[in-house]
Amino acid sequence: MTIRLTDKRKQILQVLKRQHGTMSVKDIHNKLPKIDQVTIYRSLDLFVKNKLIKEVHLGKEGMLYEYQTEPHHHAICDDCRKVRHFTAPDEKIKKLLGLEDFEVEEIEVIVKGVCKK
């Protein structure tokens, strides 16, 4: 019943905090090759359940994880595949959605397009 603050968990969370952006399980494993992938999977699940990190689905590839300083959304460039992180006035968007009989807890906006650069 008790959740332990193990060294491995600290390392995994550190890696996610340092990286500003999303990481796959493999990304994390590359930075921490000593830690088994299974342990990474289990730790990430734990962090997600305890809302320390967020899961993000951005395409077919597989789940991505990120430590979020503040809630934000994602835009993906169809050309270069780069992911842009941006904040938005969620309350205003929520009003525009006009969802009746539904208690909105979280809004996730995913934008597809291309970098103008």
Enumerate binding residues for Mn ion (CB under 5 A): 66, 85
85 binds, among its own copies, Zn ion, Mn ion, none (CB under 5 to 8 A by kind): Mn ion
Going by C-alpha positions, the residue among 83, 96, 88, 84 that lies closest to residue 71 is 88
97 binds, among Mn ion, its own copies, DNA, none (CB under 5 to 8 A by kind): its own copies
Residue closer to Zn ion (CB basis): 92 or 102: 102
Q: What's at 4, amino acid-wise?
A: R
104 binds Zn ion (CB under 5 A): no
Going by C-alpha positions, the residue among 15, 19, 20 that lies closest to residue 31 is 15
80 binds, among DNA, Zn ion, Mn ion, none (CB under 5 to 8 A by kind): Zn ion
Residue closer to its own copies (CB basis): 31 or 85: 85
**Residue 83 near residue 58, CB atoms below 8 Å:** yes
112 binds, among Zn ion, its own copies, DNA, none (CB under 5 to 8 A by kind): its own copies
As a whole number of Å, the end-to-end CA separation of the chain is: 51
Residue with the two structure tokens 């397009």: 113
Residue closer to its own copies (CB basis): 34 or 60: 60
Q: Dump the DSSP string for 12-32.
A: HHHHHHHS-S-B-HHHHHHH-
CB of 67 to its own copies, least distance (A): 19
